[in-house]
A and B are shown apart, each in its own frame.
Chain A
Amino acid sequence: MGSPCEVLTDGGDKQLADRVSSLVASEAWRIEDKFSRYLDGNVIHRINTAHGEPVAVDAETGNLLDFAATLFDISGGRFDITSGVLRAVWRFDGGDNIPAQADIDNILDRVGWQRVTWAGSQLTLQSGMEVDLGGIGKEYAVDRCTDLARSAANVPAMINFGGDLAVTSPPVTRDAWRVGIEGPNVDAAERLVDLRQGALATSGDARRFLIRDGVRYSHILDPRSGWPVPDAPASITVAADTCTQAGMMSTLAMLRGADAEDFLAAQELLYWCRR
């Protein structure tokens, strides 16, 4: 998942906490192993090395691809799981290494969900294209793990994968789970949120960005141009029923750049947008 993952249980004993934690850890590893683009032999690897041949996928992968397709539509093409190949020229390490336009144009030939054939449980990518479920996977994992934790035990639990989190129910020892939202100083919580039910997810560049000539380039790329989304907020946190919804809404808002706040204000959500 690329970040520290934790399970917090409230009340109950250590045995129960351990049991829930192992269930969550197993499921998280399962999803990680299945969809990581770093591992050979999994479905993502088969898709990304198919060189133009169709690949049959199972139901779970199919669901994620359907979901990605919907996101592509409702975002007007801004959310695109084939845009991962742009990482070859964009390295967000806090330095000032901006790629040349020619390099970006080269890569753009291999970006675009509209070039993909997804039908009848078969996915066909053009040669050289890749899919990356990194933008959906973590939040999806949080929700799957939360459902698991909820049905496995009656103890209230919070599943937190690096700041994308969900709770099974309100806690025992207090009225609500308390979550801090980072401020500009990454170690100090700027606001506290009382979460009784639901999920929180954050999109932001707190740790991944480039700065050149005083201009900050967020790591959120617009696949239509190959460049970072201009005027993207530094951080967006959204509260929603599920972590997937929260994560997708914060990502879609981030992709709107300057219009992020307007986009968020039009939904029935609690959000925090920091520039």
Chain B
Amino acid sequence: MGVQPWEREILAREDMQLTADPLEAATDDHIYFSKEASSGGRGFGGGGCGCN
């Protein structure tokens, strides 16, 4: 399953990357880590804090 190399034009787009905006993702991860009991999933972030 998959595509040939010359069919990857759309997949190479910045907005088609799994984490298109790393800063926004890191921000959200931190907000929800502070306010909810679940964390991560996508990968792991930059570390803990005393906010939970």
Question: Which residues 166-224 of A have a CB within 8 angstroms of B?
Answer: 169-172, 175-176, 196-197
Binary interface encoding of chain A residues 77-95 relative to chain B, with 1 for a CB under 8 A from any of its CBs, else 0:
0000000000000000000
The CA-CA distance from A161 to B5 in the complex, in Å, is 23
Does B9 interact with chain A (Cβ within 8 Å)?
Answer: yes
Question: Which residues 1-52 of B have a CB within 8 angstroms of A?
Answer: 4-6, 8-9, 12
| Whole-angstrom distance between the Cβ of A21 and the nearest chain B Cβ | 19
Residue of B with least CB distance to A175: B12
Give the chain B neighbours of A196 by CB distance below 8 A: 9, 12
Give the chain A neighbours of B6 by CB distance below 8 A: 156, 169-170, 197
Give the chain B neighbours of A10 by CB distance below 8 A: 5
| Whole-angstrom distance between the Cβ of A70 and the nearest chain B Cβ | 31
Give the chain A neighbours of B12 by CB distance below 8 A: 170, 175-176, 196
Give the chain A neighbours of B4 by CB distance below 8 A: 154
The CA-CA distance from A196 to B7 in the complex, in Å, is 11
The CA-CA distance from A172 to B5 in the complex, in Å, is 5
| Whole-angstrom distance between the Cβ of A156 and the nearest chain B Cβ | 5
The CA-CA distance from A175 to B5 in the complex, in Å, is 8
Residue of B with least CB distance to A176: B12
The CA-CA distance from A169 to B4 in the complex, in Å, is 10
The CA-CA distance from A15 to B12 in the complex, in Å, is 30
Q: Please, could you name 16 A-B residue pairs with CB atoms under 8 Å apart, sorted by A?
A: A10-B5, A11-B5, A156-B5, A156-B6, A169-B5, A169-B6, A170-B5, A170-B6, A170-B8, A170-B12, A171-B5, A172-B5, A175-B12, A196-B9, A196-B12, A197-B6
- List residues of chain B with CB under 8 Å of any chain A CB: 4-6, 8-9, 12
